[in-house]
Structures are given as C-alpha cells and as structure tokens.
Amino acid sequence: MVYVHRFLGQWLDKNMTTDKADTLRKGLALGSGIDEYLKQIEVRRRFTLAVEQEKYFYTVPKEVSIGDTRADRYYRLEMKDYESVASNTVFYGNGTSILVKALFEGKGEIVRIYEYETLDLLIEDLREEVAITFSCVYKPCYVLASDFEEFKPKLELGKLYCHYVQAPNYRKLIAEVEI
C-alpha cells in the first residue's frame, strides 16, 4: 500500500481505471487537477506506484460545518472565488480566526472545513500541503494567526516558515506564530 496526499488519493478515487497507462496519462495531462503536483519527482513516484499497485491510502481530517467550529480547535478552510476562479483558496487557523474569515470578510464561498484536534495535526497537514504545492504556479494557502494576521507558508531547507503577506521579505518560523 502506498501513501499519497489527499489531493492525489481523491483524484485516484474518481479516475482510476483498469488501464493503468490511461490513468497515468490522465493524471499527467495538463488541466487534470493534479498535473502541477506531479511535477515533483517524489510525488510522481508515489502516484505511479499507487496506480501500478492499485493499492493506496490517504488521510482526510474530519469535515465540519461552520456552525460546528470551536475556538479550541484548529481548521483548514477552503473557499472558492476568493482570489482565483481556477483554484480554491485555503486558510489554516483556529476556530475564531476561521469563523471571522468565512463569515465576516464578505469574499468567496465556503467549500469545506476540516477540523484538527491539535495544533500538531494542523501543522503536519499544512507542511504536507506546502510541500506538494511547491512547484505549483498558484499557491493558494495562508495561515491565520490568532490576532487575524495572514501569513504565506513556505518550506525552506525543511523548515516551515510563515511570511507576512504585507511584507513578504519578513518571516517567522511556524512555531513563533500564535495560531
């Protein structure tokens, strides 16, 4: 069994056929929805192995509605039509910051909200998302601090940093951001 990122696993669930070559071709085709992720060698290797073995798994956090968010939990909010019509914009933060972003900013529409019981689980998923979208042209991912400040996460030499949206040259380690 091969572990693949949630994006790839969900794509495979919808597109896997008995013709393995056809499945690989569809995944690598421009506009497939996962073609940008597959530019990375390790991601493509795992994807190819999953298709060849026809055995893969991925993890999905618990999906909740906006009314079920709690201040003491952490969330991943996906919004459509927030910045781009082509991709969803994603925000990671605590219950309060996610609630404010989703309901009071007046931009975009909620697609889904995932809940994490601990900050460590949120950071683990965030790190994986930043790694898989590294080669993508559009990186629609933000971290919301508890004071509602927005950061753009980036992996640099294996460490996760949060760059200030308003001043991209300034950054903090993820551990220094109060989420």
**Every domain of the chain and the residues it spans:** 2-57, 62-176
Backbone angles phi, psi at 141, to 5 degrees: -125, 135
Q: Is the pLDDT of residue 79 over 70?
A: yes
- Show the 3-state SS of 21-39: HHHHHHHHCCCCCCCCHHH
76, 125 in Cβ contact below 8 A?
A: yes
pLDDT at 138 over 70: no
> In the block, which residue shows the tokens 């551990």?
175
Whether 100 and 79 have beta carbons less than 8 Å apart is answered as no
Express as a percent the part of the chain with pLDDT over 70.
Answer: 95
Work out the pLDDT band at 134, boundaries 50, 70, 90. Answer: low
pLDDT at residue 7, rounded to an integer: 84
pTM of the model: 0.80
| Least confident segment among 74-83, 105-114, 156-165 | 156-165
Calculate mean pLDDT across residues 38-59. 92
Query: Averaged over 144-158, what is the pLDDT?
Result: 90
- What is the pLDDT at residue 69? 95
Q: Do the beta carbons of residue 114 and residue 148 sit within 8 Å? A: no
Give the per-residue pLDDT at 31. 84
Task: Give me the helices (H) in the chain, please.
Answer: 6-15, 20-28, 41-53, 95-104, 119-132
Instruction: Output the pLDDT for position 135.
Output: 59
**What is the spatial distance between Cα 82 and Cα 30, in angstroms, rounded to a whole number?**
23
Compute φ and ψ for 175, nearest 5 degrees.
Answer: -65, -20
Q: What is the mean pLDDT of residues 151-175?
A: 88
Identify the band that residue 152 occupies on the pLDDT scale cut at 50, 70 and 90: very high
